[in-house]
Amino acid sequence: MGIRVEGLVGRAVSEIAARLRDVRSQIEAAARRAGRDPDSVKLVAVTKMVGIDKIQEAARAGAVAFGENYVQEGLKKIGQVKPAREWHFIGHLQSNKVKYVLGIFELIHSVDRLSLAEQIQKRAEQRGLTQQILIQVNISGEESKSGVERDEALSLISRIKEFPCISLRGLMTMPPYFDDPEKARPYFRILREIHGEAERQCSISLPELSMGMSGDYQVAIEEGATIIRVGTAIFGPRN
């Protein structure tokens, strides 16, 4: 006799739930090591190239926030996940796509230039809403990554904080990929330092630091991350 389809589905379902439990356990352990409350860390499950069935199972297992890299892919998924969940936009955002994400995504992690912020402000004002954002900082200097340069971050923060329809919540970064997560630690530490400088020099409260992914989120938490973006560790490798 062949394996029943129900058996395969059940196995996949339990695997996602088990992975999610493991990630939560690691979050708690990392937070405790840093003398932090585990509840101070928000887990965003990254759903790039992940099917609705797996996303729905993660939601049933208790995931409350999801992150998408691409506008069209995200918009297709948001309405299908029941009950509704909190969605974050974490990919590079083109100015001409702002109209599609505004008010749909709880938080935009990837604002990296004044022109993009101006477009968000313009569209938000037209719709009578306030959009929460993070400023992405390119600490590594890699050309393949988006983000404002470190030396220009404070200037951008100073400008954006004056926009009445934007709520600037904090900073985001993506370090280079390393097999050893400890090598990412200096990049997380630098973002935390920029965060402190910004709060002091720009007279603004920035409660969020979005940093850390599947391979290095524990180190990021130890360095002060309040939001981590985890995909593979929950959903497994993507095709």
For residue range 116-130, what is the model confidence (pLDDT) as tens digits?
Answer: 999 999 999 999 999
Q: What is the pLDDT of residue 236?
A: 93
Tell the residue number behind the tokens 């992914």, with chain if given.
Answer: 213
Percent of the chain predicted with pLDDT > 70: 95
| pLDDT of 112 strictly over 50 | yes
Contacts of 221 (CB under 8 A, 6+ apart): 27, 30, 31, 34, 36, 41, 212, 228
Contacts of 148 (CB under 8 A, 6+ apart): 112, 113, 135, 136, 137, 138, 156
| pLDDT of 1 strictly over 50 | no
Q: Where do runs of H (alpha helix) occur along 103-184? A: 114-127, 150-160
For residue range 146-165, what is the model confidence (pLDDT) as tens digits?
Answer: 899 999 999 999 999 999 99
Residues 105 and 147: their CA atoms lie apart, in Å, by 19
List the domain boundaries for the chain. 5-235
Q: What is the pTM of this model?
A: 0.92
| pLDDT of 225 strictly over 90 | yes
Averaged confidence pLDDT in the chain: 93
Q: What is the pLDDT of residue 198?
A: 97
Could you give the 3-state DSSP secondary structure of residue 206? coil
Q: Are the C-beta atoms of 47 and 66 separated by less than 8 Å?
A: yes
For residue range 66-88, what is the model confidence (pLDDT) as tens digits?
Answer: 999 999 999 999 989 888 789 99
Q: Are the C-beta atoms of 196 and 153 separated by less than 8 Å?
A: no
For residue range 184-203, what is the model confidence (pLDDT) as tens digits?
Answer: 999 999 999 999 999 999 99
Q: Poorest-confidence range of 1-5, 67-71, 89-93, 163-167?
A: 1-5
Contacts of 89 (CB under 8 A, 6+ apart): 67, 68, 71, 74, 101, 105, 107, 108, 109, 110
The CATH code that applies to domain 5-235 is 3.20.20.10
Average pLDDT over residues 91-97: 96
Average pLDDT over residues 14-32: 96
Residues 40 and 221: their CA atoms lie apart, in Å, by 10
